[in-house]
Chains A and B, each alone.
Chain A
Amino acid sequence: MLIVRVRAPREGLSRAIRLARGYVVGFRRGPDGEPVAVDVVFRDPAFVGELATKEIAVEVLYDSRDHPDPKDDVSKVNRYAEELERLKRERRGKTEA
């Protein structure tokens, strides 16, 4: 997956946003208020090649292939479960007493 910055006239930006199915994460306007650049998320890197023309400039901001899989950064063990159970037992003990 790629996050790319697309600089183009309105039609080019429109094409980029259409390809990304609206997945926009950034938007830039020129001094006249007209859109000039947009950051979009592409699930398929092939879209980058599809977009690039002489009117459309594409810059890759983020390529998931260059980063470790963030799923490795998600906790696999419930770090709070043990403490929760302990407090629940303690509470039950007090109630029964």
Chain B
Amino acid sequence: MLYQSVEETNTLLELLPLQFPAFCERIELPNLTAEGRHSFALKIRVGPEENRPAVLFLGNVHAEEWGSTDILMSLAQELLGAAGPQNPLHFGNFTLASSAVADMLQKVEIFIFPIVNPDGKAFSQAGDRFWRKNRRPAADPEEIGVDVNRNFDWLWDLSRVFDPLVLGDPATPEGVGLLVASEFPINVTYHGPAPFSEPESRNVRHLLDENPRIRFLVDVHGYAGQIMHPWGDDDPQTTDRFQRFDNPLFDGRRGIIGDTAYGEFSTAGDLARHRQIVHTMGSAVTAALGAVYEEGPISTTLYLMCADTADYAYSRHRTDRQLPKIDGFLLEWGKPDDGFQPDFPPRMEQIIAEVSAALTALLTIAKDQPFIEKSPDPALFGRVAVGETRAVPITIKNASARPVRISNMHVDGPGYHVSPALDTRLSPGESVAVTVVLAPQVVGPARGALLFEARFEELVLGRGLVLGSTADVVEVELQGGNCLALVSECLAPTFPPQGPAACATIRATCALLIALMKLFGGGRFACAIAKLQFRIDHCAEGNGDPCIPLVPFPRLPNPGIRPRPRP
């Protein structure tokens, strides 16, 4: 066995749909690389049902990690080989019985994008075996390329969002922080001139945008022997919803592991799910050939990072509540003494087996991922004084092709109550309504969530009630409260969500007012400007939280932290 070249992989991506026309098709991605290469992905679907969850596997985001492609193409061939004759799958000592394989393939759609960075890979295989970046041109040959896995639009602007201590000595632009990402083209972690400046990252985004049924993403890298979940920028935490990557109030504080100043928010349910999924994949690795991969969040298992695929994928539904939640994972195959290109036989073959087991284990989880639509999300309560109540009805719909059990419904957040707290079964397409009431007991923000579990539940002839293997934790964001603004405080306005046409008008009007205020008023209108900017930024989803403090213009430096000089 040998590593596939870029050309060979592209040939195989063209061949497999011809060999298995009923089960797979090749997708051509829209963005050509800097060197004019086309990129391709494979979609595998067995059976007629279109309404099913999907998984996206990425390979060779980094050029030198050749084996990621071989892992994914080997997996593709194994899955397709098992589909028609309904064979079992064997990866080392990991086995999935033929009935389980057939069941899995009928219920999940699989996207495989085996070479995200073909320019970089071709260059690595032809010459510089440790090349990592793509081949974005530069006048200085030392500055060619961008780290594609630092080019996604999630905390891309590292010098703004991270604590200066993380980024190293403020007196120099380099330091420990280089491993997070870099603003300088000479470094291997250079994040590019802008988020999504690179065709390679845009191609990944295209797949996510065009396939809203993708609910899981695994980015396959080498080599460290780790399986990781979000987040990459700090410790994950489940108690403070306000500590989020998109909250500018925490700019300059992210990245200090173990402190209390900042942790990246996930719901408790999601964090527990992520740990469970990572552990299931890790167990499959061990079952295959005995290897033990480390498990944990990206930030503390590998190292801090930003603008990467897995975190970007998981962040999308927080940035835009209308987008589906995608659980993103980072898998680093191998072990610390493997190097980027282990000898193919035997070492890379062993790695192919153990990672194939892990990815297959994820597919058995993914097939049971229900689609739940909830509206409105976020639910906006606005300003509700102590002694008052406000109710918002929320509709929950089973958008899956199978019946779903809704259970363990509760609210998380001060002053909120839900009625009824459902435990019910929804048929495909069926909706149900609940009412969430906000009755604040104290002055202050009331940020919270309506949470419940959703799990497939089917009555199967001869088997009785069959539950899905994994429950999803569904969240509806709740925004409301009441605040007494201090004299020096500037709080965000509350307003309902608006459609695209109204937002275009609102944004244009607000932008004009901001320009006039800056021209004629400067600092006097700092709060008004911040409020108008908030309206621009949140026009589509609205805001029901009256207690969000805004950063006034001009921005004041955080006392006690030296500003970082620009080169």
Contacts and interface: CB of A to CB of B under 8 A. Distances in A.
B74 interface: no
A10 B176 contact: yes
Interface in A36-89: 38-39, 41, 43, 61-62, 64, 67-71, 73-76, 78-81, 83-84, 87-88
Interface string B1-39: 011110110011011001100000000000000000000
A84 B256 CA distance: 53
Contact of A75 (B4, B337, B341): B4
A69 B5 CA distance: 15
- Chain A CB within 10 A, most for which of B5, B15, B18, B176: B176
A64 B129 CA distance: 10
Contact of B11 (A1, A26, A69, A81): A81
Contacts of B169: 14
A18 to B, nearest CB: 5
Contact of A25 (B4, B7, B178, B224): B224
A18 B186 CA distance: 11
B187 interface: yes
A67 B337 CA distance: 12
B176 A23 contact: no
A67 B179 contact: no
B125 interface: yes
Contacts of B15: 80, 83-84, 87
Contacts of A74: 2-5, 66, 125
Interface in A16-42: 17-18, 20-27, 29, 32-33, 35, 38-39, 41
Given A14-B168, A41-B130, A24 B339 contact: no
Contact of B129 (A1, A38, A87): A1
Contact of A22 (B5, B19, B189): B189
23 contacts: A3-B339, A14-B176, A17-B178, A18-B174, A21-B186, A23-B132, A24-B179, A26-B303, A35-B176, A38-B179, A39-B336, A43-B130, A62-B339, A67-B343, A71-B126, A73-B343, A74-B2, A80-B8, A80-B15, A81-B11, A84-B15, A88-B18, A91-B18
Q: Which 3 A-B pairs have the closest CB atoms?
A: A22-B178, A27-B303, A70-B341
Interface of B: 2-5, 7-8, 11-12, 14-15, 18-19, 66, 125-126, 129-130, 132, 168-169, 174-176, 178-179, 182, 186-189, 223-224, 256-258, 300, 302-303, 336-337, 339, 341, 343-344
